A and B are shown apart, each in its own frame.
Chain A
């Protein structure tokens, strides 16, 4: 949409205007959480924008330092409450790598399956909430209907609906319940069958396109400068996906040539491209989940965890491991001095970096575009503030 400039002149000096500072948040319907944006407005045009974070800072990194490795998982799945499983697996993986621990194959495949289902759950949430911010009230109900389908199988296996607490150092908490894989298959089929409903509300909708096409264009240089990752980076043509580039869990096999895994990218870098990436990633993740299911069934029964010593101590050293969380890179830098608690566990969360880019993205846009751009950055405030 080309910008049109309108200059109104009254008298000799033109119309005298004053800028207005508008605080979006920390309590505001568009920020879904407590992100605060301080915006300087000239009429409806944004002159400056500053994201102010930290209203929900819970000191996760400091809390990690006084928890043993089993307890850390409880906290690790909470900063990004929409990617709980992916985050807790990341924490488990770094500890396992430093311990040199081998995880049973069955556990690895189940972990991969749950991580992909978690990705679908996360993306469906944003596919519902983003149109809501653009004023479309129906997609969120369709998205939640599908989420409920997957939540049911997640709850059946893990007992929780958001904070799964199913991963353990060395594997998983329990084996799968009887007949669970069949129910997952049914759930995936049901979601696939009804996903067109959600897509009909979004794909090709002229109003949605008018609001998102060409709005909030992110270029690869800015992405590199701010460390933006995940679907947002890929929507600008940055072809990075840790599942393929630094495979963990069972992804090296899934993303091998001929495998079901593929990295979804777009070139436009605008809000529409970001939404499209999300939508297509749902399809890819469902395919990956299906492949995991087949693999789990063909593997047959087996152990899903290893016996841990009573006191788990990670050998002295430091290591960094990042996973491709639904919203982007989620990294853990673990420094151990041989104690049963980490000496330092740095958390690199995706949303924190993704939100910072707003200060360069927003100036020059309209207030209504602010909502479109903010929503398309797909962040979780807990993940920003940690």
Chain B
């Protein structure tokens, strides 16, 4: 009994540590990759070696700032919103496996769990938009809501395809069932997942809820200090969760040479590929308009995801004979 509790605490601490470290790694990668793609160097001072401690320094700066709650804000909603945004990705990260046994909590329907809690994060943004008492925040919040509604569906359909192909709703089970020819078979689903995940994370080219040139900072306009930092952390934690998820679903997670010893490294590497891709897209492309985004979702992604479902179903039926 006591052993169980120690194990649970240990696992929770490990997940929390990963939750705090991985987003910072992604953030630093974004700083550096983006800078070099633009012919710059990026942060070079903080910490000495190529500015490795830049995000730590940013965190210290954020924690020193005054915590401002606008007079017109719905104060409780305003205060809770960042927490809601961040907790959902923490819960999601807990069930993503790095290896067959390296997982925070091995639950049977972990794919469903990830999708369920992942959507809650967006509610935090919506609350921030509504609670700030600011017109820009409100517009940004409503855009977020519209985006959530249209992108949750293709995301779930794409995930369903992976689940059908593997015959399992558990992420560990899906990764076990993975074979290299999924790379071709599940390609449309992976594309749908990537686009939908980018949209749900509000990353460019789908960042109209926070479009700085239109809505200042969208739902986050009125936030300062740690609460703002939490939203930022949530954004990068979201990239971590979505990249790892796609790495596990589409690239087979820990599957690779020497996967008994370094399986967890394979998962992280595969996740890193998608994280860099998401960063790269941000550097290379402009932003779509909100209605164009809806068009992409309903006229492009949903039919494509349905097509993928059909292909998967046929494939499963044919191969299970």
Stretch at the interface among A49-57, A77-85, A134-142, A163-171: A134-142
Known: A29-B212, A29-B213, A135-B205. A368 touches B284 (CB 8 A): no
Chain B residues with CB under 8 Å of A256's CB are none
In the bound assembly, the distance between CA atoms of A375 and B211 in angstroms comes to 14
Q: In the bound complex, do residue B213 and residue A137 qualify as a contact, i.e. CB atoms below 8 Å apart?
A: no
Q: Determine the residue in chain B with the shortest Cβ distance to A129.
A: B213
A44 to chain B, nearest CB (A): 7
Contact flag A207-B285 (CB < 8 Å), given A29-B216, A135-B204, A138-B38: yes
Closest CB in chain B relative to A39 CB, distance in Å: 10
A116 part of interface (Cβ distance < 8 Å): no
Known: A135-B205, A138-B38, A210-B292. A368 touches B285 (CB 8 A): no
Q: Does B75 contact A (CB under 8 A)?
A: no
* B 120-147 contacts with A by CB, 8 A: 135-136, 139
Closest to A368 in B: B289
B interface footprint on A25-64 (CB within 8 Å = 1, 0 otherwise):
0001110000000000000100000000000000000000
* B50 in the interface (beta carbon within 8 A): no
Judge whether B259 is part of the interface by a CB distance below 8 angstroms.
Answer: no
Q: Is B321 an interface residue (CB 8 A)?
A: no
Partner of B283, one of A138, A205, A211, A375: A138
Residues in A with CB closer than 8 Å to B284 are 136, 138, 201
Q: Is A145 in contact with chain B by the CB < 8 A criterion?
A: yes
User: With A and B bound together, what is the CA distance between A234 and B207 in angstroms?
Assistant: 33
Type the 1/0 row for A351-386, where 1 means its CB is closer than 8 Å to any CB of B: 000000000000000111111000100000000000
Interface size class of B (residues with CB under 8 A): 20 to 34
Given contacts A210-B288, A366-B289, contact A133 B283 (CB under 8 A): no
Closest A residue to B217 by CB, please name it: A29
| B40 in the interface (beta carbon within 8 A) | yes
- Which residues on the A side are within 8 Å of B287 (C-beta)? 134-136, 207, 211
In B262-321, the 8 Å CB interface with A consists of 282-292
B139 touches A205 (CB 8 A): no
Complex interface: chain B residues within 8 A of A141 (CB): 38-40
Contacting residues, chain B, for A370 (C-beta < 8 A): 214
Chain A's nearest CB lies how many Å from the CB of B237?
Answer: 22
Provide the main secondary structure of the chain B interface.
helix
Q: Does A131 contact B (CB under 8 A)?
A: yes
Q: What residues on B are CB-neighbors of A137 within 8 Å?
A: 34, 38, 204, 282-283
Task: Check B208 against A368 for contact (C-beta < 8 Å).
Answer: yes
Q: Does B12 contact A (CB under 8 A)?
A: no
Chain A residues near B208 (CB-CB < 8 A): 368
In the complex, are the beta carbons of B285 and A44 less than 8 A apart?
Answer: no
Closest chain A CB from B140 CB (angstroms) = 11
Q: Which residues of A contact B213 (CB under 8 A)?
A: 29-30, 132-135, 371, 375
Q: B288 to A367, Cβ gap below 8 A?
A: no
A371 engages B214 (CB within 8 Å): yes
Kindly list chain B residues whose C-beta atoms are within 8 Å of the C-beta of A134: 213, 286-287
- CB of B37 closer than 8 Å to a CB of A: yes
Q: Which partner residue on chain A sits nearest B35 by CB separation?
A: A141
Contact A207-B211, Cβ < 8 Å, known A44-B139, A138-B37, A145-B39: no
Whether B291 and A367, one on each chain, are in contact in the complex, defined by CB atoms closer than 8 angstroms, is: no
Roughly how many angstroms separate A135 CA and B139 CA in the complex, as a whole number? 17
Q: Does A224 contact B (CB under 8 A)?
A: no
Given contacts A44-B139, A368-B211, contact A207 B39 (CB under 8 A): no
Name the interface size band of chain A: 20 to 34
In the complex, residue of chain A having the shortest beta-carbon distance to the beta carbon of B282 = A137
Within 8 Å of chain B (Cβ to Cβ): is A22? yes
Chain A residues whose CB sits within 8 angstroms of the CB of B139 once the complex forms:
44, 367
Q: Which residue of A lies closest to B291 (CB)?
A: A366
* Chain A residues within an 8 Å CB radius of B40: 141
Q: Is A208 an interface residue (CB 8 A)?
A: yes
B286 CB contacts on chain A under 8 angstroms: 131, 134-136, 205, 207-208, 211
A66 at the interface (CB under 8 A from B): no
Task: Tell me whether A30 and B135 are in contact in the complex, defined as CB-CB below 8 angstroms, given that A131-B286, A136-B285 are known contacts.
Answer: no
Complex CA–CA separation, A132 to B213 (angstroms): 8
Evaluate contact between A22 and B38: CB separation under 8 angstroms.
no
Minimal beta-carbon separation of B262 from chain A (angstroms): 35
Indicate if the CB atoms of A30 and B37 lie closer than 8 Å: no
Residues of B within 8 A of A369 (CB): 289
- Whether, in the assembled complex, A299 has its beta carbon less than 8 Å from a beta carbon of chain B, the answer is no
Residues 12-51 of chain B, each 1 if its beta carbon lies under 8 Å from chain A, else 0 = 0000000000000000000000100111100000000000
In angstroms, Cα B285 to Cα A22, docked, is: 28
Q: In the assembly, what is the distance between CA of A141 and CA of B36, in Å?
A: 11
Q: Which residue of A lies closest to B37 (CB)?
A: A138
CA distance A28 to B139 in the complex (A): 15
Q: Which 10 A-B pairs have the closest CB atoms?
A: A135-B287, A136-B286, A141-B38, A133-B213, A134-B286, A30-B213, A368-B289, A135-B286, A207-B286, A371-B214
A-B contact pairs, 20 of them (CB 8 A): A20-B135, A22-B136, A28-B216, A30-B213, A135-B204, A136-B285, A137-B282, A138-B38, A201-B284, A205-B286, A207-B285, A207-B287, A208-B286, A210-B288, A211-B287, A366-B290, A367-B215, A368-B208, A369-B289, A371-B211
What 14 additional pairs, Cβ within 8 angstroms, besides A138-B283, A210-B288?
A4-B291, A28-B216, A30-B214, A135-B204, A135-B213, A136-B284, A136-B286, A136-B287, A137-B204, A141-B38, A145-B39, A201-B284, A205-B285, A210-B292
**Footprint of A on B, CB under 8 Å?**
34, 37-40, 135-136, 139, 204-205, 207-208, 211-216, 282-292
Q: Which chain A residues have a beta carbon within 8 Å of chain B's beta carbons?
A: 1, 4, 20, 22, 28-30, 44, 131-138, 141-142, 145, 201, 205, 207-208, 210-211, 366-371, 375
